[in-house]
């Protein structure tokens, strides 16, 4: 059983998140209200994984721009 806070904490990319979701283990994401044992909404999991990857990418770009501006 794996219990990360949310799908955004599960992996940095959608591919990693999907690979973990397909492993033969129970995955519980309390913040996203998701449990592989009881949830039938794998589409919602995939959508959240894609959105988390995009958010991570945007945050990275903002940090890089901030660091460059402070030079």
pLDDT in tens, 7-39: 888 777 778 877 877 788 888 989 888 888 887
Could you tell me if residue 40 is inside a domain? yes
Domain count along the chain: 1
Q: Where are the beta strands (DSSP E) in the chain?
A: 28-29, 34-35
What is the predicted pLDDT for the residue at 39?
78
pLDDT (tens digit per residue) in 30-63: 988 888 888 777 788 888 888 888 988 888 899 9
Residue 23 lies in a domain: yes
**Is residue 1 situated within a structural domain?**
no
* Residue 14 structural domain: 7-69
In a domain, 35, yes or no: yes
Can you tell me which residue has the tokens 């940090």? 63
**2 domain-assigned:** no
Cα gap 41→27, rounded to integer Å: 13
Whether residue 14 lies inside any domain: the answer is yes
Measure the CA angle with vertex 43, ends 47 and 61; round to 5°. 10
| Of the candidates 15, 12, 13, 17, the residue with the CA atom closest to the CA atom of residue 2 | 17
């Amino acid at each position: 059983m794996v219990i990360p806070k949310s799908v955004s904490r599960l992996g940095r990319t959608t591919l990693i998140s999907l690979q973990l979701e397909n492993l033969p283990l129970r995955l519980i994401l309390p913040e996203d209200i998701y449990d592989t044992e009881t949830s039938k909404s794998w589409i919602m999991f995939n959508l959240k994984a894609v959105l988390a990857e995009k958010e991570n990418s945007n945050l990275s770009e903002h940090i890089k721009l901030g660091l460059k501006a402070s030079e």
